[in-house]
Amino acid sequence: MRIFADNALHGRTLNPRDPALSAGGSSGGAGAAVATGIGPIAHGNDIGGSVRIPALYNGVVPAYNPSQQIPRAVGAQLMSVQGPLTRSLRDSRLALGSLCKRRLQ
């Protein structure tokens, strides 16, 4: 329920583009790690912005679902998101293909 990530052991997660800014909440460390190249893919889930806010704040790509037939209702879009954080759509497609155990066309 916060838009920043911190813990007692390591402290606050800093935004890799500007340490004076937040890296986002919950999945902020994952977003910052992907943005800095520590890893190409991080998985996250959220119900209030824990994937989308870090993706926005760190300049990475949140979940992408090319197979969805119709847009989700606004309530569903605002409340529940599962998916990878990546630096590119290409990496997002690879991650989703792996998560789905099939290759996305």
Among candidate residues 22, 26, 27, 92, the one labeled active-site is 26
104 within domain boundaries? no
Asked if residue 1 is part of any domain, the answer here is no
> Does residue 11 lie within any of the structural domains?
yes
Phi, psi of 90 (to 5 degrees): -60, -45
Total structural domains in the chain? 1
Q: Which one of 22, 27, 50, 92 is the catalytic residue?
A: 50
Q: Catalytic: 80? A: no
Q: Which domain holds residue 67?
A: 6-99
Active site (annotated) includes residue 50: yes
> Quick check: is 84 in a domain?
yes
Q: Are strands 81-86 and 11-12 parallel, antiparallel or unpaired?
A: unpaired
Matching residue, tokens 């926005």: 56
Residue 86 included in any domain = yes
| Interacting residues of 98 by C-beta distance below 8 A, sequence separation 6+ | none
Domain assignment present for residue 105? The answer is no
Tell me: the pLDDT tens digits for 1-31?
567 888 888 888 889 999 998 888 878 888 8
Q: What is the pTM of this model?
A: 0.69
Whole-number pLDDT of residue 86: 92
